[in-house]
Structure 1
């Protein structure tokens, strides 16, 4: 388990990263990638969407272009303060502080769950994915963006010492173990690093 797959350390890390996150993020996860990923989902106007690990609200802004019913959750209040500055604290997005492994929502609450840049910090990814399946409606979609596993073996060892990196086979295993169907993967990245992110979309059973 990497050093940042620890909730306390991750919160401390984001306390400082939040100061520069919106300046750094476009080099790793930009608007074009965000829109391509959102296009993998069947979001209809009025759908209730949850953004887990919403951070500074970058993905939240894109989701709001598809539906007005967006909820954002993050464990870092420092990250959410940046989102509040952009979007307001209560309207149009309903924000909550919480844990991906223990979502503060009722069963079958959402049509879609989105999470980008968060899974790499989860100590127990399958537990979180099962929790997503609990709160998404039957047949609802879940999309997770995470860091693609480096091909170089030394880079893999360094990456794994920091946080979770994985490939499509590992994503298949995690989503299947969590009980999802229709699992689809797509690699994305900016021009200088075209395969830096792995995007997985899946459906909860009907």
Structure 2
């Protein structure tokens, strides 16, 4: 387990990263990539959408262009404060503080669930994916954006010492174990590193 696959350490990390997050983020995850990933989802204007690990609200803003019923959840109050400053706490987004492995929502509460830049910090990704499946209605979609595994052996060892990095094969295993179907992957990245992120979308069985 990587050093940041620990909830206390991850919260401390984001306490400081939140100060510069919106300036650093575009170098690895920009609006073009976000919008391309959102395009992999079937979102209707009246769909109830949950953004897990909503952070400073970057993805949340993109989701609001497709649905009027978006909810955001994050464990870092420092990240959430940045989102509140942009969007408010309750309108147009309902924000909550919580844990990806224990979502504070009822079963079958959402039509779509999005999570970007969060899976790499989860101690148990399969447990979180099962929890996501619980709160998404049958036939609904779950989309996860995570860090693609580096190609070099040395890079992989360094990355794994910090947090979770994975490839399409590992994503297939995680989503399959969590009970999803119609699993699709797409690599994305900025021009200087076009495969830095792996985007996986899957459907909750009917």
State the match for 2:71 in structure 1.
71
Whole-Å separation in 2 of the counterparts to 1:103 and 1:203: 19
Please list the CA deviations of residues 133-178 of structure 1 after superposition, one character each: whole Å capped at 9, or x if unmatched.
Answer: 0000000000000000000000100000000000000000000000
State the match for 1:98 in structure 2.
98
Q: Please give the residue correspondences for 1:5-154 in structure 2 after superposition, counting only pairs within 5 Å.
A: 5-154=5-154
Please list the CA deviations of residues 91-131 of structure 1 after superposition, one character each: whole Å capped at 9, or x if unmatched.
Answer: 00000000000000000000000000000000000000000
Superposition RMSD in Å: 0.2
State the match for 2:189 in structure 1.
189
State the match for 1:170 in structure 2.
170
Secondary structure, aligned partner of 2:114: strand
Give me the TM-score of the superposition, normalised by structure 2.
1.00
Number of residue pairs the alignment of both structures matches:
206
* Structure 2: stretches of 5+ with no match in the other structure: none
Give me the TM-score of the superposition, normalised by structure 1.
1.00
Whole-Å separation in 2 of the counterparts to 1:167 and 1:105: 30
* Structure 1: stretches of 5+ with no match in the other structure: none
Whole-Å separation in 1 of the counterparts to 2:187 and 2:98: 28
Whole-Å separation in 1 of the counterparts to 2:90 and 2:204: 29
Whole-Å separation in 2 of the counterparts to 1:68 and 1:12: 32
